[in-house]
DNA sequence: GCTTATAGCAAACGATCGTTCGATATAGTC
DNA sequence: GACTATATCGAACGATCGTTTGCTATAAGC
């Protein structure tokens, strides 16, 4: 029954997306995969390594869904617009059964020092840097008011996507993602 | 050593703010309070009841810090402005050692049905309704473009505060709350 | 064919989990 | 003073946690 390491991590992503990385237990994951706890530990060393691999896989999923298709677009305004649509699509598709994984991890570890917190922080920092760079290009091209700080735009886009996705899931508001998209477009100076 | 029920819940809020409501364990809380697990159960019945009481206390803290001082202000634009400042102040003061409690609970339970999810959802709904009503007044008074949906404004304010607070804590960006405040003011048509 | 390395297993470890049980001590009521 | 109700306790329960240990089977290298 033992499947590949990659399949194992993907299964862990699905569990942790709902239960959180702290709710990811070796016993339950092993049962779900039809293998033993010891076999799981043999692959990853210990639980924390599994958690880190799981977080890394979720980050890769996000990058593949939101960033990679956007590199075809012209940097700046056009690419920002594309990123927003891909991002909303990523959230709408329920790529993670329990909502945006990095948001879950961010909340879980924002007050708890350790490697998992560091990994999550690094991923968010990198994504914010990417968004900032795109906003900078947009501003330099005159597509954004010169007074707008690109870092502000990046931070705002991130806050809206992350906060909007959670609130929408929690309240069951079917229009939440449409509201979020509109707010993100306004923040990026697209409307 | 046994303290009042209220002091017990406040201690639980501080623990759960960092560890999450799922990370709140009877044994550790009992140790921290210098009492026995059984004594804790005697007060609350079971762990879930303690979790619900803890969430309710955190919601009350938020209301006391952000909503109650704002009722002195004129409804509409003026009160929205006041709410934003109180909200940012509430986040800046680290009223919860682990960040906004309701945000933590929202993320923790948005994909896990049960009473805790329902409680968190009801609190967010109620707060969104309050914000919507204030935005409606502001729009009727001409302080907001007539085309702006008050519910959109409320949703956006909530997303920004919740998402911005988490990202700021995680990345250690000291300007995060200032950015969040500026974005919230823009969303509410205040600048 | 023999040796070595790898992967996975069952079983057990001590720790902690939430909960239950029976005893005790205190406060209030008659 | 006797009785009742309330609160808290220590101790134990079965379950699950992450981890370690020793065994077995398969594959690779020589």
Residues B14-24 pLDDT 10s = 999 999 999 99
Flag residues 15-74 of B with CB < 7 Å from strand C: 24-28, 37-38, 41, 46-48
CB B119 within 8 A of CB B56: yes
In whole angstroms, what is the distance from residue A48 CA to residue A53 CA?
9
pLDDT of residue A24: 97
pLDDT in tens, A92-118: 998 898 889 999 999 999 999 999 999
Mean pLDDT, chain A, integer: 96
CB A180 within 8 A of CB A164: yes
In whole angstroms, what is the distance from residue A131 CA to residue B87 CA?
26
pLDDT of residue A1: 40
Query: Which nucleotide lies at the shortest CA–C1' distance from A40?
Result: C8
Hey, what are B10's tokens?
Answer: 């406040």
pLDDT in tens, B61-114: 999 999 999 999 999 999 999 999 999 999 999 888 888 999 999 999 999 999
Percent of chain B clearing pLDDT 70 (strictly above): 98
Mean pLDDT, chain B, integer: 95
Amino acid B56 CA to nucleotide D22 C1' distance, rounded Å = 51
Residues 6+ apart with CB under 8 A from B16: B23, B24, B51, B54, B58, B98, B101, B104
Q: CB B161 to CB A162 under 8 A?
A: no
Angle, vertex CA A117, rays to CA A115 and CA A118, nearest 5: 60
Strand D neighbours (CB under 7 Å) are A 24-28, 37-38, 41, 46-48; B 1-2, 30, 34-40, 42-43
pLDDT in tens, A160-175: 999 999 999 999 999 9
Nearest residue to A187 via CA among A92, A66, A83: A83
Residues 6+ apart with CB under 8 A from B44: B50, B53
Amino acid A117 CA to nucleotide C13 C1' distance, rounded Å = 30
Hey, what are A177's tokens?
Answer: 């993602």
Query: Which nucleotide lies at the shortest CA–C1' distance from B24?
Result: C17
In whole angstroms, what is the distance from residue A127 CA to residue A104 CA?
16
In whole angstroms, what is the distance from residue A114 CA to residue B164 CA?
21
In whole angstroms, what is the distance from residue B79 CA to residue B69 CA?
10
Helix and strand counts by DSSP (H, E) for chain A: 9, 0
pLDDT of residue A191: 86
Considering only CB atoms, which chain A residues are within 8 Å of B170? 106, 109-110, 117, 120-121, 124
The yes-or-no verdict on residue B2 having pLDDT over 70 is: no
A163/chain B closest Cα distance in angstroms = 4
Lowest mean pLDDT, pick from A6-10, A79-83, A135-139, B128-132? A6-10
Q: What are the Cα distances from residue B80, in Å, to A163, A178, A179?
A: 19, 23, 19
Coil, strand or helix: which one is A11?
Answer: helix
Amino acid B119 CA to nucleotide C29 C1' distance, rounded Å = 40
- CB atoms < 10 A from the CB of B166, how many? 26
Considering only CB atoms, which chain B residues are within 8 Å of A132? none
With helix as H, strand as E and coil as C, how does B35-74 read?
CCHHHHHHHHCCHHHHHHHHHHHHHHHHHHHHHHHHHHCC
What is the pTM (predicted TM-score) of this model?
A: 0.95
Q: What residue has its CA nearest to the C1' of C11? A: A38
pLDDT of residue A91: 97
In whole angstroms, what is the distance from residue A64 CA to residue B31 CA?
46
Of A111, A160, A182, the CB nearest to B163: A160
The yes-or-no verdict on residue B1 having pLDDT over 80 is: no
In whole angstroms, what is the distance from residue B4 CA to residue A179 CA?
44
Amino acid B100 CA to nucleotide C18 C1' distance, rounded Å = 27
Mutate to test the interface with B, among A19, A98, A108, A111 (most CBs of B within 10 A): A111
Q: Span A152-159, mean pLDDT?
A: 98
pLDDT of residue A4: 82
Dihedral sign for Cα A53, A58, A64, A67, please.
negative
Amino acid A32 CA to nucleotide D23 C1' distance, rounded Å = 24
Hey, what are A116's tokens?
Answer: 């998992």
Of B110, B164, B172, the CB nearest to A155: B164
Of A19, A158, A163, the CB nearest to B158: A163
In whole angstroms, what is the distance from residue A187 CA to residue A189 CA?
5
Mutate to test the interface with A, among B15, B24, B116, B156 (most CBs of A within 10 A): B156
Q: Exposed, middle or buried by CB within 10 Å (0-12, 13-18, 19+), for A181? A: buried
Angle, vertex CA A53, rays to CA A50 and CA A56, nearest 5: 150
CB B187 within 8 A of CB A190: no
pLDDT of residue A3: 64
Q: What are the Cα distances from residue A57, in Å, to A13, A81, A96?
A: 7, 25, 12
Percent of chain B clearing pLDDT 90 (strictly above): 93
Hey, what are A42's tokens?
Answer: 């043999």
Mutate to test the interface with A, among B97, B107, B114, B144 (most CBs of A within 10 A): B107
Of A98, A112, A163, the CB nearest to B163: A163
- CB atoms < 10 A from the CB of B172, how many? 10
Dihedral sign for Cα B74, B75, B76, B78, please.
positive
Q: CB B124 to CB A171 under 8 A?
A: yes
Coil, strand or helix: which one is A73?
Answer: coil
């Amino acid at each position: 029954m033992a499947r590949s390491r990659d399949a194992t991590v993907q299964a862990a992503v699905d569990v942790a997306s709902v239960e959180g990385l702290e709710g990811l237990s070796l016993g339950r994951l092993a049962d779900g995969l039809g293998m033993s706890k010891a076999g799981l530990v043999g692959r990853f060393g210990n639980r924390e390594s599994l958690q880190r691999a799981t977080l890394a896989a979720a980050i890769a999923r996000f990058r593949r869904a939101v960033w990679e298709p956007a590199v075809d677009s012209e940097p700046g305004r056009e690419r920002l617009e594309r990123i927003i649509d891909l991002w909303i699509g990523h959230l709408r598709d329920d790529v993670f059964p329990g909502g945006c994984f990095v948001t879950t991890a961010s909340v879980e570890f924002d007050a708890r020092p350790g490697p998992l917190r560091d990994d999550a922080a690094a991923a968010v920092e990198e994504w914010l840097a990417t968004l900032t760079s795109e906003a900078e290009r947009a501003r330099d091209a005159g597509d954004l008011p010169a007074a707008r700080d690109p870092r502000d735009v990046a931070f705002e886009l991130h806050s809206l996507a992350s906060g909007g996705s959670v609130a929408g899931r929690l309240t069951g508001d079917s229009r939440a993602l449409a509201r979020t998209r509109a707010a993100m477009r306004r923040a990026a100076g697209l409307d």
